[in-house]
Amino acid sequence: MYKVILARLQQGHRTMAYPDGPPPEMPDRFRGRPTIDASKCPEGCRACAEACPTSAIAVDERGVRLDLGRCLFCTDCQEACPQEAIHYTLDYRLAARGRGDLLMEGKTLKLAGALEEQSRRLFGRSLKLRQVSAGGCNACEADVNVLNTVGWDLGRFGIQFVASPRHADGLLITGPVTQNMKLALQKTYEAVPAPKIVIAVGACAISGGPYLDHEQANNGADGTVPVDLYIPGCPPHPLTILDGLLRLLGRLKEESRI
């Protein structure tokens, strides 16, 4: 026992100070919020759209639009662009309340807003979530699990994962919702007592990701259950997930547009 206590004292405090302190520095290889400089795009060029594996980029008379809900952050568009008009930043803030808010034109992105006041009173201090892997590859699930480690300590915000949907305030869904998981997801949603919230994490849960329009997938969660928060990425970084959750609960007061 003394050795355990001594080792703990030597380790010190490991939980990050975020959001009270500065966020951790993202590694150079991190692929965060993309930006598009349409002024560099030559007329008629569609190199970025043609390179995108999920058709997340549209080019027309309105300009270049990027759907973050479909984006895999693979950088194929960045590498294909001859004018270097697209590049990925180190900005981890990506979550949005509405599906349409993930459609980027240029450099503008509307970040997630907080729940309504009545819902914040219910969930703001204690939010219990049931995680549902609806056919995911386990990448998003792994990064969600990171939030429970000592470095992140999700429980300090009153957010915890529970084993039963009957003990939950909402669902956190990963995966494209395969045909085998659709009924299970519906039943799990119905088992959560009202009022409840639903969070879609990752490109698969938002749009189907690389399985978009596959006959055995349902193109994400919102075709089966209503979604209150979308967190894009493939997979999203744990800090991206945490940022989205805290915005939903009204814990962050930053600008709503970046």
Domain of residue 77, CATH code = 3.30.70.3270
- What is the per-residue pLDDT across 149-168, written as a single tens digit (0 to 9) for each? 988 999 999 999 999 999 99
At residue 256, the pLDDT reads 61
Q: Cα separation of 16 and 18, whole Å?
A: 6
**Are 135 and 237 contained in the same domain?**
yes
- What is the per-residue pLDDT across 4-57, written as a single tens digit (0 to 9) for each? 777 667 766 678 888 887 778 899 999 999 998 888 888 878 889 899 999 999
Sign of the torsion angle spanned by Cα atoms 212, 217, 220, 223: positive
Average pLDDT over the chain reads 90
**Are 145 and 228 contained in the same domain?**
yes
Q: Cα separation of 241 and 180, whole Å?
A: 26
- What is the per-residue pLDDT across 77-89, written as a single tens digit (0 to 9) for each? 999 998 888 999 9
- The amino acid occupying position 242 is L
Domain encompassing residue 81:
34-92
**Are 88 and 121 contained in the same domain?**
no
**Are 157 and 226 contained in the same domain?**
yes
- What is the per-residue pLDDT across 170-221, written as a single tens digit (0 to 9) for each? 999 999 999 999 999 999 999 999 999 999 999 999 999 999 889 999 999 9
- What is the per-residue pLDDT across 59-103, written as a single tens digit (0 to 9) for each? 887 778 899 999 999 999 999 998 888 999 999 999 999 999 999
**Are 172 and 133 contained in the same domain?**
yes
- What is the per-residue pLDDT across 136-149, written as a single tens digit (0 to 9) for each? 999 999 999 999 99
* pLDDT class of 230 with cuts at 50, 70, 90: very high
The pair of three-digit structure tokens given for residue 244, joined into one six-digit string: 């989205």
Please check the confidence at residue 255 and state whether its pLDDT lies above 80.
no
**Are 80 and 142 contained in the same domain?**
no
Q: Are 35 and 89 in contact (CB under 8 A)?
A: yes
Q: Name the helix (H) or strand (E) containing 189.
A: helix 179-191
* pLDDT class of 257 with cuts at 50, 70, 90: low
**Are 67 and 187 contained in the same domain?**
no
Q: Is residue 23 part of a domain?
A: no
**Are 136 and 79 contained in the same domain?**
no
At residue 236, the pLDDT reads 97
At residue 84, the pLDDT reads 87
- Residue that the structure tokens 């807003």 belong to: 113
Q: Is residue 141 part of a domain?
A: yes
Q: Cα separation of 31 and 194, whole Å?
A: 37
User: How many structural domains are present in the chain?
Assistant: 2
Give the 3-state secondary structure of 38-54: HHHCCCCCCHHHHHCCC
Q: Name the helix (H) or strand (E) containing 143.
A: helix 139-146
At residue 119, the pLDDT reads 85
Compute the chain's Rg from CA coordinates: 19
Q: Name the helix (H) or strand (E) containing 170.
A: strand 170-174
At residue 144, the pLDDT reads 97
